[in-house]
Amino acid sequence: MARNPHSMKPKAELTERRLRAYELSLMGWSQTEIAAELGVSQATVSNDISAESKSRIQPAADEWRQQSADRMRIGIKALMKDIQAEQSVARSVEVLSKVEERLAKLLGLDAPLQQEIAATVDARPSELLDRLARARQQVAEDEARLRDGPA
């Protein structure tokens, strides 16, 4: 099995290259210029910059997200106290709703879920059409009875 030649390079060398590519990009160098400077492909430069950005930004973003969630939870407790003390109840409930909505969004709780649904149909299409026609007829009869009142 052939090995990737980049996987054999020392980790320190890869880390230095990644850091250098990131720094050059911050100085306004194009990826083509960085690739020529470092002697690697433009795709490698793109991957290096992306990986370095992720390693720097993701922890900071996670920390910010946690701090924001903690602040929101403190606010929720204060709003709940106001509601229980019957102080500015309508306004507190309104703000509480918005804060909880924002917290759910921050935590990704409001993300749509993908669901796979499988169904089996035992009846044949003609049977289903007959059932649908009978149901429509029954609805029409019920509506007529309601419109006309008792006979």
Site of tokens 């911050």: 26
Question: Which is higher by pLDDT, 54 or 120?
Answer: 54
The answer to whether residues 102 and 127 belong to one domain is no
Question: Which is higher by pLDDT, 20 or 7?
Answer: 20
- The domain of 73 spans 8-108
- Position 68 in a domain: yes
The answer to whether residues 73 and 23 belong to one domain is yes
The answer to whether residues 79 and 148 belong to one domain is no
| Mean pLDDT, rounded, for 53-70 | 89
| Averaged pLDDT of the chain | 86
Helix 31-38 with 11-26: angle, nearest 10 deg: 140
Ramachandran area for residue 116 (φ above 0: left; ψ -120 to 50: alpha; else beta): beta
- Position 34 in a domain: yes
- Torsion sign over Cα 146, 147, 149, 151: negative
Residue closest to 19 by CA, chosen among 60, 62, 51: 51
Domain count, the chain: 2
- Cα–Cα dist 111/43, whole Å: 32
Per-residue DSSP letter, 124? -
pLDDT digits (tens, 9 = 90+) for 97-150: 999 999 988 888 877 777 777 877 666 778 888 888 999 999 999 888 888 876
The answer to whether residues 74 and 135 belong to one domain is no
* Predicted pLDDT at 1: 45
- Position 117 in a domain: no
- Cα–Cα dist 137/64, whole Å: 61
Residue closest to 72 by CA, chosen among 110, 107, 100, 111: 100
- Position 2 in a domain: no
- Cα–Cα dist 79/81, whole Å: 5
pTM exceeds 0.75, yes or no:
no
The answer to whether residues 55 and 127 belong to one domain is no
Q: Does 36 have pLDDT greater than 90?
A: yes
